[in-house]
Amino acid sequence: MLVTVVLGHAAMDSSNIKSVNHSNTLKYLSELDLGYLKKYMSSEQYTLPRWQDSDADTAILLYKRYLALLVKHGLECELVPTKEIDEVWHNHILHTKQYHQDCNALFGRYLHHIPSDLNETDQERLSALFQKTCEYYESEFNESLPFYQQNAG
């Protein structure tokens, strides 16, 4: 199995904060077509290991749910994605115009991706935040957040 490594978390840019209507943002998110990310991640030209279409669909769904949690909880907490969600997020960021437009529609501001320092203290903090993310996910979607773990031994 793959190992989930917590690589970063989300942070909002508090400058130029706009008022956000949660029902409008959730509607926007439900209609958000990220099919271009699936096409990109499933392409033979993709520089990372290529995704199967069904795996890309699942990862994109999880990413959209992660964004929904960020809409709901916003600045009150830091949420940490799984490796799969993080890869979709990185690909979304690469499409800068669309990412900026989506951030403005969803959050009223730019959503920054904050990489971890990979030191032990930061990893402990991010692991605790990841547990909180899993709790929020389960509470909101009535299922556990799927992620891969390394088998012990």
Is 96 within a domain?
yes
Q: Is 51 domain-assigned?
A: yes
pLDDT-based confidence at 9, cuts 50/70/90? low
Mean pLDDT of the chain: 83
The reply to whether 106 falls in a domain is yes
DSSP 77-106: ------HHHHHHHHHHHHSHHHHHHHHHHH
User: How many structural domains does the chain have?
Assistant: 1
Each residue of 10-53: pLDDT tens digit?
Answer: 654 444 444 556 778 889 999 999 999 999 999 999 999 999 99
Give the percent of the chain with pLDDT over 90: 59
Looking at the DSSP bridge assignments, the partners of residue 9 are: 114
Q: Indicate whether 3 pLDDT > 50.
A: no
Query: Within a domain: residue 148?
Result: no
Angle between helices 22-31 and 96-107 (to 10 degrees): 150
Q: Is residue 1 part of a domain?
A: no
- Range with lowest mean pLDDT among 11-20, 46-55, 80-89, 110-119: 11-20
Q: How confident is the model at residue 67 (pLDDT cuts 50, 70, 90)?
A: very high
What is the three-class DSSP state of 27?
helix
> What tokens were used for 26?
């959730």
pTM: predicted TM-score of the whole model, two decimal places: 0.83
**What per-residue confidence (pLDDT) applies to 20?**
58
Q: Is residue 136 part of a domain?
A: yes
Q: Which residue has the tokens 């979304």?
A: 92
**Domain annotation covers residue 65:** yes
Q: Has residue 2 got a pLDDT over 80?
A: no
Q: Is 46 helix (H, G, I), strand (E, B) or coil?
A: coil
In terms of residue numbers, what domain contains 95? 8-141
Residue 146 lies in a domain: no
